[in-house]
Amino acid sequence: MARTSRTPGAESAGKYRRNLFSWVMLTPGLIFLGVFLAVPFLLLFVISFRDVDNWMNMLPTYSLNQYIEVFTSRFYLHMIWTTLWVAVVTTVICIVLAYPAAYLLVRAPNRAVRTALYVILVSPLLTSVVIRTFAWIVLLAQNGLVNEVLMKLALISEPLRLLWNLNAVIIAYVQVMLPFAVLPIATSMGEIDPRLRQASMSLGAGRLRTFWKVTLPLTIPGMMSGAIIVFSLAAGSYITPLLVGGRLQPLLPLAIYQQVLQVANLPLGAAMSITLLLLVGVLVAGMGLILRRWEGRLHG
Amino acid sequence: MADRTNLKETGAAVRRRRRFDGWTLLAWIAGGAVYLFLVVPVLVIILSAFSPNPYPEFPPTEFSLRWFREVFQSEPWMRAIGFSLWLMVIVTVLTVVLGTTAAYGISRLEFRGKQALLSFMLSPLMIPQVVMGIALLYIFTAMGIIRTMAGLVIGHIIVSFPYVIRTVGVSLSNLDPKLERASMNLGAGPVQTFFRITLPLIRPGIVAGGVFSAVTSFGEVSISLFVVSPSNMTVPVRIFNYIDQTFDPSVNAISVIFIAVAVLALIIIERTIGLTKVM
């Protein structure tokens, strides 16, 4: 640090001014997020304890009724279970598929190939989710491309019903969210010192053993951060399930959307939202803990 | 040093052996299949957009711009595109200003809870958007700005904000702190230093953040659906309503426009800050 020959007083006055300026810069953003992010969530939390009358008007009383409804009805419990199940399946498939994709990205033989792979990976992230989902409607519809190709190949005689089920939701989810898994895995793969693998192989370990003992453990942080993003997105989206799965799929985000915009039961929607938020939060925090533990083991 | 050349030679030997390795071949095939899976839906949309038939066919038989013409001649689609562009400009400008100042402020301060505050600022990336949608629906109704442009602008800023924090944060952490210190030692105040030294140096991060905000706002639908007015729809909301009910091939043409915008955005981000840094 290059210090000039300033007096300590001037130094601290300068520091004070710098800090003051930094706080002034930070404040507008903080106020904005406070008013439009923190306060709305606080209100949502409060509303989830309100009661409604038969016409869905909010009553001035507070109770746990909405939560009791969510956690005692088999309908909602099944829904919570399905939501988590779909999110877990999506996450696992994404991580498994992302691994070879990340490998290709890291080992691309030249810059042109790597750029092309990057474009394939990142351009969907910059395209609206409506459009990415729309592609799957075009592919999977009764008169869609998959059915047409299968019919032309005479593998099927009647179009299959590929849309409007949870499989369609998972397929679309995987394709929409895969880049979020590939990028962190590729990052942690790229950071591995190639000499580690060479050392392992020159010590007599084969390709597979080297992969299990060296590459895989070192890429677990990337896999975990990918899994965290994919899981929280898959548990919280409603656009994709609505468009390829239909309105009747037992998924929590979908039910929240309908409860609020169609049934207009805001307190029940709020209670379901808080439930979803807590479930995702707890599971993501758990995955984050594993991630930090593992990183501690690797670098500590 | 002899050791290192030795290691290099072993490395080369390993690499030579690897070229014919079955596992590597398998990894390449699997990886290639995954990229195919990612790119096929996009290609299908592009091909259908340039086909004259209402239903996609493979392989395509004819080339036509029919659906593009239909979009550009349709008054409601053009109105939606105009509205979305307008919204995008407002959101981008506001998000860049709010995000850049906040990223600067938090990067230059040390206090307890700084990490927590940073996570809070990045949290819109992780929060289920349906939850954010109803939270905003309620508060906007209470404030009387539901189904107005203001509500949409606020909703879009919230989801774009984390991207600016990230890209500008990357630029700030790459900045040599000596430059700012030198400026202050030469008598410039913090404000002058920010505008004369910091701002020009973090411009790549700001531009990348702006591009992210723009594409996020242009494609946003999850929150918009809750707060949008039926008379002033954004393009993604209109697409959503369209494909929710019917199947209209002009959506293909619109999609191609979106994909083109995404690729353009990608080029700008790569040129300014580098994709690997922010994704």
Query: Do the chains contact at B178 and A2, CB–CB below 8 Å?
Result: yes
> What is the count of residue pairs from A and B with beta carbons less than 8 Å apart?
281
Task: Kindly identify which residue of chain A lies nearest to residue B9, measuring between CA atoms.
Answer: A198
Model pLDDT for residues A170-181, shown as the tens digit of each residue: 999 999 899 999
Angstroms from A298 CA to nearest CA on chain B = 23
Mutation target among B222, B227, B273 for the A interface, most CBs of A within 10 A: B222
Per-residue tens of pLDDT for chain B, all 279 residues: 344 444 444 555 555 454 557 878 888 999 999 999 999 888 888 888 888 877 766 667 788 888 899 889 999 899 999 999 999 999 999 999 999 999 999 998 989 999 999 999 999 988 998 999 999 999 999 999 999 999 999 999 999 999 999 999 989 998 888 898 898 889 888 899 999 999 999 998 999 899 999 999 999 999 999 999 888 899 999 999 888 777 677 888 998 988 888 888 888 888 877 766 665
CA distance B172 to chain A (A): 13
Question: Could you give phi then psi for residue A51, rounded to 5 degrees?
Answer: -100, 160
pLDDT tens per residue across span A184-241: 999 889 888 888 888 888 888 877 788 888 888 889 989 999 999 999 999 999 999 9
Contacts of A31 in chain B (CB under 8 A): none
CA distance B153 to B184: 37
Side-chain-side CA neighbours of B185 within 13 Å: the count stands at 13
Q: A239 contacts in B (CB within 8 Å)? A: 221-222, 225, 240
Cβ contact B232:B151 at 8 Å = no
Select from B102, B124, B218 the Cβ nearest to the Cβ of A29: B102
CB atoms within 10 A of CB B65: 12
* Predicted-complex ipTM score: 0.87
Convert the pLDDT of each residue in A260-282 to its tens digit.
Answer: 988 889 999 999 999 999 999 99
Tokens (6 digits) for A272: 């379901």
| A92 Cα to chain B: minimum distance (Å) | 14
* CB-based contact B7 A269, cutoff 8 Å: no
**CA–CA distances in Å: residue B2 to residues A193, A195, A203, B5, B208:** 20, 16, 18, 5, 46
Which residues of chain B does A237 touch, with a Cβ-Cβ cutoff of 8 Å? 128-130, 222
Contacts of A176 in chain B (CB under 8 A): none
